[in-house]
């Protein structure tokens, strides 16, 4: 269990630093609740859980990149800005993917 200490510390840091991570967790929980309410199929569960995991992973990596860039420079640097912006864009891409998956799976069930 000692091997996982650093990973758990990273999770605690992520929750403390990145409030968007909590927002994504709440959105993922809502999708899971909807999955139970609408009795989605096994393959739909695979897509929903993959989309949730992708968004959470992208957010975690984005936060790690932000910490790394902040460690390297305290001064404004266009390359640091680009690194942070591209990392943030990866979260946006994952979130749009998750939204599309959610629309494809849940919209027909709502009507």
pLDDT in tens, 52-105: 999 999 999 999 999 999 999 888 999 999 999 999 999 999 999 999 999 999
As its CATH architecture, domain 2-110 has Orthogonal Bundle (1.10)
| Predicted pLDDT at 95 | 97
The catalytically annotated residue of 9, 44, 59, 75 is 59
- Average pLDDT over all residues of the chain: 94
| Predicted pLDDT at 105 | 97
Domain positions in the chain: 2-110
59 catalytic residue (yes or no)? yes
pTM of the model: 0.90
46 to each of 3, 54, 76, how far by Cα in Å? 29, 12, 42
68 to each of 65, 71, 104, how far by Cα in Å? 5, 5, 36
| Predicted pLDDT at 52 | 98
Do residues 41 and 109 make contact, with C-beta atoms less than 8 angstroms apart? no
**Alpha-carbon torsion angle 79, 84, 86, 90, nearest 10:** 160
């Amino acid at each position: 269990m000692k091997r996982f200490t650093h990973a758990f510390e990273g999770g605690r840091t992520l929750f403390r630093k990145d409030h968007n991570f909590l927002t994504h967790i709440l959105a993922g929980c809502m999708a899971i609740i909807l999955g139970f309410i609408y009795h989605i199929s096994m393959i739909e569960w695979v897509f929903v859980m993959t989309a949730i995991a992708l968004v959470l992973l992208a957010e975690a990596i984005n936060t790690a990149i932000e910490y790394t860039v902040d460690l390297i420079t305290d001064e404004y640097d266009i390359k640091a800005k680009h690194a942070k912006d591209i990392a943030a864009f990866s979260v946006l891409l994952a979130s749009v993917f998750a939204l599309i998956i959610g629309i494809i799976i849940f919209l027909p069930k709502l009507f």
